[in-house]
Amino acid sequence: MVSGPEWARLSDQEVVLIARAGREAAYRELIRRYERPVFALLFRMVRDRELAEDLAQETFIKALNAIESYRPEFKFSSWIFKIANNAAIDHLRRRELDTLSLDGSPHAETPEQMQATALQIGARQESPLDAVEAKELGGAIEQAIAQLRPEYRSCILLRHVEGRAYEEIAEILNLPLGTVKTYIHRARNELRQTLAHLKE
């Protein structure tokens, strides 16, 4: 039987093998190991705590229910980050499609129609959760990250926040190694410029 402190000595692959044998504790150990990094990545991608929790939950449910299809020759971290990143990108794409222009619908022909279809920014009441979010994501660097393209954001977060190697990021995002390097350089450049602009 594996007890609490002994889990730490096991690799992800070993924990997965125990999970496959039907031990619930092994599933919980995998959640414990990746809950924070997966949630942090998703939160910074979608910038909404509640939504990030839903996506993180969806990620773990998808991964753990498909644990039989996980191939141990790959890193478990790559696998779970790939599922999380896909969930975030899918959501951002859907949201992009649903987003209304600040000036109203492009099909509006009269000023009245434009006003009626315009996004009402001030209409939303700020909840206590929004205040927590504002505190968590309110720093200059967080704001600069938010302005990056989603692909750049995934790359830079995985590289410099989660400390993943370039090769692993390429595997997670299903991109060529050169593209990952380019995205990270551009992301750092854009962050530098945005931060300089915010300081002014």
Partner 1 sequence: MTQPSGPHLTPDDLDLWLDGNLSEERQQHLDRCQACLELARAEQEIVDQLQGLTLMSASAGFADRVMQSVVVPDPFAIRSLQTVPRRLLATRKSMAVAASIGLLLLGSMAVSIIWTLGHQTTLLALGSWLLSQGGQLAWLGLRGVASNFMEQPWFENARTVLAHPGRLALASASASVAYLGGVLALRRLLALPTQEVAHANA
Query: What are all long-range contacts of 156-162, with beta carbons under 8 Å and residues at least 24 apart?
Result: 156/183, 156/184, 156/187, 156/188, 156/191, 157/40, 157/41, 157/44, 157/45, 158/41, 158/81, 159/184, 161/40, 161/41, 161/44, 162/37, 162/40, 162/41, 162/81
Q: Where are the alpha helices (DSSP H) in 8-163?
A: 12-20, 24-46, 49-65, 76-98, 111-117, 128-137, 140-146, 150-156
CB of residue 161 to partner 1, shortest distance in Å: 6
CB of residue 28 to partner 1, shortest distance in Å: 5
- Of 5-13, 69-77, 109-117, 181-189: span binding partner 1 (CB under 8 A): 181-189
Q: Which of 90, 103, 112, 136 binds partner 1 (CB under 8 A)?
A: 136
39 part of the interface to partner 1, by CB under 8 A? yes
Residue indicated by tokens 């979010």: 133
Q: Which of 21, 97, 121, 123 binds partner 1 (CB under 8 A)?
A: 21
28 part of the interface to partner 1, by CB under 8 A? yes
Q: Identify the DSSP state of 157.
A: I
Which residues neighbour 24 within 8 Å (Cβ) at sequence distance 6 or greater? none
Site map (CB under 8 A) of partner 1, residues 53-92, x = contact: x--xx--xx--xx--x------------------------
- Of 7-15, 75-83, 108-116, 135-143: span binding partner 1 (CB under 8 A): 135-143
CB of residue 124 to partner 1, shortest distance in Å: 22
Q: Please, which residue, 41 or 172, has the CB nearer to partner 1? A: 41
Is the separation of the CB atoms in 156 and 145 below 8 Å? Answer: yes
Is the separation of the CB atoms in 197 and 107 below 8 Å? Answer: no
Q: Which of 167, 185, 197, 198 binds partner 1 (CB under 8 A)?
A: 185
Q: Please, which residue, 6 or 109, has the CB nearer to partner 1? A: 6
* Angle, helix 12-20 to helix 24-46, in steps of 10 degrees: 120
Footprint of partner 1 on this chain (CB under 8 A)?
Answer: 1, 3, 19-24, 27-28, 31-32, 35-36, 39-40, 43, 52-53, 56-57, 60-61, 64-65, 68, 136, 139, 141-142, 156-157, 160-161, 181-182, 184-185, 188, 191-192, 195
